[in-house]
Amino acid sequence: MDFLRQLDIVSPQQLRTPITVIGCGGIGSPTVIALAKMGCTEITVYDPDHVEPHNLPNQLFRIEDCSRPKTEALADLAKLLTGTGVKAMVEAVVSQRLGGLVIGAVDSMVARKHIWDNCIRFNPKIPLYIDARMSSEVCRIFSIKPIDPEDVRFYEGTLYSDDEAVEESCTSRAIIYNVFMAASLITHQVKTFLVHEPVSRELAFDFKTLTFIHSS
């Protein structure tokens, strides 16, 4: 693709950094497409799930993708829209040796804590870990340097149990404009890091009021 109109924002060379996206649902699927559209060429995606009909309204899959592994369907879509080859891993992240930028887009605190404890924490091969969380119409994005003790202490203070989380009604968990905005904020954080600009450690956006409720 021709990236002429963004060359003064980020260069193709900077976008060659390996990126791993964990979770290909409401946040992960549009994020992968946004990263590929921006010009990232080394994208790996992990998710053990298959596309189901209830995923279609708020995840970036086609009707014909139903029953297919999410990672494979997403890789095909990225290839179709951008020409970028995405590496599809039809499996959960358990203790894989991850490297490069890592984006967490999972939907439970148990999964987040497991990924953090077993793959991210103090991993010198991961310069930045981005954890995106969605609760109804509020999105929170944490951008953490896994080898920075201060970042580690801050992030671990946000890891509560699923029992402590506010349980949303199954009909109020996500809507398509939320996930597009979340993908945009995540992709912005990736770009900001790659061009060596200061990255916000926490972003929180309320879609209902269209306001940032926290940025640091």
3-48 confidence digits (pLDDT tens)? 878 988 999 999 999 999 999 999 999 999 999 999 999 999 999 9
pLDDT for the residue 165: 56
Euclidean distance between CA atoms 148 and 127, whole angstroms: 10
Q: Is the pLDDT of residue 169 over 60?
A: no
pLDDT band at 175 (very low <50, low <70, confident <90, very high): confident
* C-alpha to C-alpha distance for 113 and 23, rounded to whole angstroms: 14
The domain segmentation of the chain, as residue ranges, is: 16-162+169-215
pLDDT at 182: 94
Which pLDDT value is given to residue 172? Answer: 54
Residue 76, pLDDT above cutoff 90: yes
Q: Mean pLDDT across the chain, nearest whole number?
A: 93
Of the listed ranges 129-133, 167-171, 199-203, the least confidently predicted one is 167-171
pLDDT in tens, 122-165: 999 999 999 999 987 899 999 999 999 999 999 999 998 766 55
Mean pLDDT within 84-94: 97
Tally Cβ neighbours within 10 Å of residue 195: 12
Per-residue model confidence (pLDDT) at position 1: 76
DSSP string, 88-142: EE-S--SS----SEEEE--S-HHHHHHHIIIIITT-TT-S-EEEEEEETTEEEEE
CATH number of the structural domain 16-162+169-215? 3.40.50.720
Residue 208: what pLDDT?
A: 87
Q: How far apart are CA 112 and CA 53, in angstroms?
A: 25
Separation CA 138–CA 202 (nearest Å): 13
173 residue type, one letter? R
Please state the rounded mean pLDDT for residues 103-123.
Answer: 96
Query: What's the pLDDT score for residue 160?
Result: 84
Residue 68 one-letter amino acid: R
Give me the pLDDT at residue 123, please. Answer: 98
pLDDT computed for residue 163 by the predictor: 67
